[in-house]
Chain A
């Protein structure tokens, strides 16, 4: 089935319309087709997303921007496999995740998605090392291998000397770097950051954004969800969401 018209390609020279297999582009890391998300508010059905379609190739650095209530958080939850669409298809790394059950989604989140949150979401009682090890624990990695991988990830974010510190012994920037190490430790397909600098001062924000840039240059696929234009401007492609639809999808560098 050929359905190339649905593919919104930011620049024709980068992403050419391709032949689709089973309604998606197998070359793409993320392929969303006509995604709807509807919430039932009492008797009223509220559509948070009205048939969103787009592709993200491997290795891209993309920002999803939109005001609050635009549907960008819903889109982020779907991309991160925290939720499934009411209607539509979502392929992540060749797997159709739109029809997966809770446990399969947990598995995908564990293996394919690295989350970075605005409020860091570290376990308060656990050390930096243990926090970073957590995805590996649910991935069933043995203890010795876990320590090794978590230490490598913490070294990659320049926190090799903070492994035994607990979150309340670290600065905001350091906490976010622990969270980034946790997101990266499993070598996921995508690094999904939700307002990653929302709780940080501007100087630290720039450090974190520099880190994202470096991680991108090392080959990671990065998706940043934000409402701040200067943060979005650091990405290579910006998708603007408004009223549950893609308003604009542009390549900026």
Chain B
């Protein structure tokens, strides 16, 4: 009961003391706020990115892998030269895989180009033109048709100029007209006219890049327009993730045979990859960001803690007389200790809470600008406030201890 009453008094004293020195309190808070803001903002942003990335790659999913001439990520010029010397991956390679790999479920090929697309007087730049075959590539890519239709098998083989457009095209070329208005229209890619057969469902954007800024055309048409010499990528889907390894092994064997290489060869002549390479790259990039941020936050929390300690020492000196009075009328060491500790923790906890708020605010602004979901995590908010409270305890302990062991007679003499 004594503890409770005295602690409540300490809380009131701390509040009124912080209120009485508003400017000082604000300045003391700054260090803690900056540190917590940085951590909360980065953690929140990265969590948002994580979710975006996970969703993006799961749309193809962990059941898809690729065979290509060179890997998705090239680490050096030497590698680039080496991969560039390899034989192009061809339609025949894809057909061989489809024929010879029992674990493979869907096999498709895709090749990409970036073009300017025109419709009437409208123009869309940097549109991804994706030549695919067969139409199961739409399933492998995880896209589906919203309005209209995909080309038929015979149309796909015919080399006719037909296409299925991503929803960004409606916005950029058709002035946001409904999808059915676009179907049947003719647009020009690289000067050639293409008939719009259908419009895709929107997929949103990742890292500010729209995934709907795309036009699918049959691979035969792509070949006609851009020539057969461009290397294509073979996409292979297995029914379930467990079969991925087996399918990759089979595909490697088939490709080694076709390139006349063995697993021991200096250069296999092809690359078998899953989207994991992106996830790994992304993971190592974000973990570096985490480390740097935590370092910055740690430094600013240490500095903030030193500021709090300094201010608390000033506060103890200023209030020596008050401490003397309180001790004279019966405050024990722990009452005084608690009083100053509560004050220090209150400053840092408030700083932490404000930091959590500004951190989420900053994350909100950045996520709105870049375009990924804002994931407010209660755990990181709790962590932000509790870490800063710990900073308060650590930095308040020494000043509070000095106050607690003041001699009441000496303290009363202070002015």
Q: Residues on A close to B: CB < 8 A?
A: 77, 80, 82-83, 102-103, 106-107, 109-111, 115, 117, 121-123, 125, 134-135, 137-143, 182
Contacts and interface: CB of A to CB of B under 8 A. Distances in A.
Interface stretch (B67-75, B153-161, B329-337, B368-376): B329-337
A135 B329 CA distance: 6
A134 B326 contact: yes
Given A121-B321, A123-B325, A140 B408 contact: no
Interface stretch (B2-10, B55-63, B197-205, B378-386): B2-10
Closest 9 CB pairs of A and B: A110-B330, A140-B2, A138-B330, A106-B332, A103-B332, A140-B1, A135-B329, A137-B9, A121-B325
Given A121-B412, A123-B322, A140-B2, A135 B330 contact: yes
B20 A115 contact: no
Contacts of A103: 332-334
Most buried by A among B1, B326, B329, B409: B329
A243 B378 CA distance: 69
B330 A109 contact: yes
Contacts of A102: 332-333
Contacts of B334: 103
Interface of B is mostly: helix
Contacts of A134: 325-326, 329
B41 to A, nearest CB: 38
A82 B411 CA distance: 11
B327 interface: yes
B353 to A, nearest CB: 25
B100 interface: no
A123 B412 CA distance: 12
B16 interface: yes
B328 interface: yes
Nearest to B327: A106
Contacts of A109: 327-330
A135 B9 CA distance: 11
B328 A141 contact: no
A182 B329 contact: yes
Given A102-B333, A109-B329, A138-B331, A125 B412 contact: no
B409 A138 contact: no
Nearest to B331: A138
A106 B330 contact: yes
Nearest to B330: A110
Interface string B114-125: 000000000000
Interface string B392-409: 000000000000000011
A106 B325 contact: no
Contacts of B324: 121
A82 B408 contact: yes
Nearest to A76: B409
A242 B408 CA distance: 25
A138 B408 contact: no
A138 B328 contact: no
Given A77-B409, A137-B9, A138-B335, A107 B1 contact: no
A83 B409 contact: yes
A117 B324 CA distance: 12
B194 to A, nearest CB: 80
Contacts of B328: 80, 82, 109, 115, 121
Given A121-B321, A121-B412, A134-B326, A106 B331 contact: yes
A82 B409 contact: yes
A137 B16 CA distance: 17
Interface in B1-47: 1-6, 9, 16, 20
Interface in B100-146: none
Contacts of B326: 134, 138
B118 to A, nearest CB: 75
B20 A139 contact: no
6 contacts: A103-B333, A111-B330, A121-B321, A134-B326, A138-B331, A138-B335
A77 B324 CA distance: 13
A72 to B, nearest CB: 14
Contact of A138 (B4, B16, B332): B332
B296 to A, nearest CB: 38
A141 B330 contact: no
Nearest to B5: A140
Interface in B311-364: 321-322, 324-335
B171 to A, nearest CB: 63
A114 to B, nearest CB: 8
A143 B20 CA distance: 24
Contacts of B409: 77, 82-83
Contacts of B327: 106, 109
A103 B3 CA distance: 13
Contact of A137 (B5, B322, B333, B412): B5
Contacts of B1: 140, 142
